[in-house]
């Protein structure tokens, strides 16, 4: 009986030493959905009191769109759980944001832990017929974010947003 308990305890110690490393390497891998996701076509329409767009869900039911930021296009994932628009450094460069002078001092909680981000302001952010001025955003290191998340600093400036019939409706 004592031998069984010793073998069991040894197995538990070995598992405790190996499993955290495996979980970390697994969790650090980008999801196929994040890296291969393509934005769905944007439908534009007029709604009572404003302009709007419809985003159809992409892989995994997430809503992706092609946004114009200061006139340059970038694909983004709409995330109502994100308090602000978040852009990785590579996307920021493509959008014409000078990253050399950014101050990465804002702590941000991500799925992979806390990282430091830099505050920026986007002059104009558009999708379809919707245009929003002066959108707060954060720039994060590439390893912390695979692209762009469109959070509440953009969505909060809309008249409304809702999921109807499986599509995300944005109204300005």
Both 36 and 25 in one domain: the answer is: no
Is pLDDT above 70 for 145?
yes
Both 99 and 162 in one domain: the answer is: yes
Contact 122, 135 (CB under 8 A): yes
Q: Domain range for residue 67?
A: 32-171
pTM of the model: 0.73
Both 79 and 38 in one domain: the answer is: yes
Both 8 and 40 in one domain: the answer is: no
pLDDT for residue 59: 81
CATH number at residue 44: 2.40.70.10
Task: Please state the domain count of the chain.
Answer: 2
Helix (H, G, I), strand (E, B) or coil at 13: helix
Could you report the per-residue pLDDT of 69-106, keeping only the tens digit for each?
Answer: 999 999 999 999 999 999 999 999 999 999 999 999 99
pLDDT for residue 48: 43
DSSP codes of every residue in 59-75:
GGG-BEEEEEETTEEEE
Both 126 and 57 in one domain: the answer is: yes
pLDDT for residue 112: 78
Is pLDDT above 50 for 160?
yes
Mean pLDDT of 156-167: 94
Both 36 and 92 in one domain: the answer is: yes
Mean pLDDT of 131-145: 96
pLDDT for residue 119: 98
- Average pLDDT over the chain, rounded to whole? 81
DSSP H helical ranges for the chain: 2-27, 32-36, 89-94, 152-155
């Amino acid at each position: 009986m004592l031998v069984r308990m010793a073998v069991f305890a040894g197995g538990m110690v070995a598992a405790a030493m190996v499993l955290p490393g495996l979980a970390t390497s697994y969790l650090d891998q980008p999801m196929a959905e994040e890296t291969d996701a393509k934005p769905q076509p944007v439908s534009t329409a007029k709604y009572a009191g404003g302009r709007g767009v419809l985003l159809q869900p992409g892989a995994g039911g997430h809503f992706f769109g092609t946004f114009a930021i200061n006139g340059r296009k970038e694909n983004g994932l709409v995330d109502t759980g994100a308090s602000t628009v978040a852009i990785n450094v590579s996307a920021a460069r493509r959008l014409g944001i000078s990253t050399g002078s950014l101050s990465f001092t804002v702590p941000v909680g991500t799925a992979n832990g806390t990282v430091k981000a830099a505050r920026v302001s986007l002059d104009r952010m558009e999708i379809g017929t919707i245009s929003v001025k002066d959108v707060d955003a954060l720039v994060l290191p590439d390893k912390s974010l695979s692209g762009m998340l469109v959070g509440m600093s953009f969505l909060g400036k809309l008249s409304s947003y809702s999921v109807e019939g499986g599509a995300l409706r944005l109204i300005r």
